[in-house]
Amino acid sequence: MRLPELPDVGELVVGTVEKVKDFGVTVTLDEYPETEGFIHIAEVASGWVKYIRDYIREGQKVVCKVIRVESGKGVVNLSLKQVNEHQRREKIQEWKNETKGKKLFEILVNRMNKDMKECYEVFGYKLIKKYGSLYSAFEKASVDQKTLEENGFTGEWVKHFIEVAKENIVPPSVEITGMLEITCPLPDGVKHIKEALSKAGVSKNVVVQYVGAPMYRITVSSSDYKKAEEIMKKAVERVITYIKEHNGKGEFHRK
């Protein structure tokens, strides 16, 4: 009898609470089919736990740390208290992305009327190796339609992959903010300040807001931090260059 795949010690796993008893909790591991884990009452929360149901209930989705694995018996011991809130949020998001990536891959396979196993063998596993996960591959393709070709992927499936990515994934967006301090002593200084700020290239990606003279907030959004920083740098340079050319002063303070 083939034993199910088990997680590694130290790994964070997503599980669904099946049974809650006085001494511990049984959890099914969402990422490891047919595998159960156990959380002893001592690993449910820090400090003394009098009533375990005050902390956890059946059907609850939890993120746990694997603290012990007995591969021969298929036993996986888990800890709930050793996972902090930041780790929990990141793991849940990762799990959601992986789940969505598999569903999108299924949509792709059905659209091409191909065999699932064959598609994984031909390009699925290669995408995971290159991008880290199927979801990351779809996400990259939704932003940059040339990414697959640039990474050596070819075939009829590529155009279908890009279509599915564009239809189902909203490109990720990040936002950065800074403060511009702009002054101009000329009689028509207000006009020059307005003109300088317009040089930021105000659009849906670049927004300049009045805070209180002489301070203006500039906000830039883009698909990633590197691009956002580049856009911010060029926008600020244009503003400060213009105001200095008209006897004014300009400084930028990054938030």
CATH number at residue 194: 3.30.70.1130
Question: Is the sign of the CA dihedral 85, 91, 97, 99 positive or negative?
Answer: negative
* 240, burial (CB in 10 Å: exposed 0-12, middle 13-18, buried 19+): buried
- 9-31 tens-digit pLDDT: 999 999 999 999 999 999 999 99
- What does the alpha-carbon distance between residue 40 and residue 22 come to, in Å, rounded to a whole number? 9
4 in a structural domain: no
Return the CATH number at 32.
Answer: 2.40.50.140
Per-residue pLDDT for 226 more than 90? no
Instruction: Name which of 73, 87, 76, 70 is nearest 24 in CA terms.
Output: 76
* Domain containing residue 114: 87-168
Residues comprising the chain, all counted = 255
Are both 63 and 101 inside the same structural domain? no
pTM, 2 dp:
0.64
- 34-49 tens-digit pLDDT: 899 999 999 999 988 8
- The domain boundary, picked from 139, 168, 197, lies at 168
The CA angle 131-120-2, to the nearest 5 degrees, is: 110
Q: Do the beta carbons of residue 27 and residue 9 sit within 8 Å?
A: no
Are both 77 and 96 inside the same structural domain? no
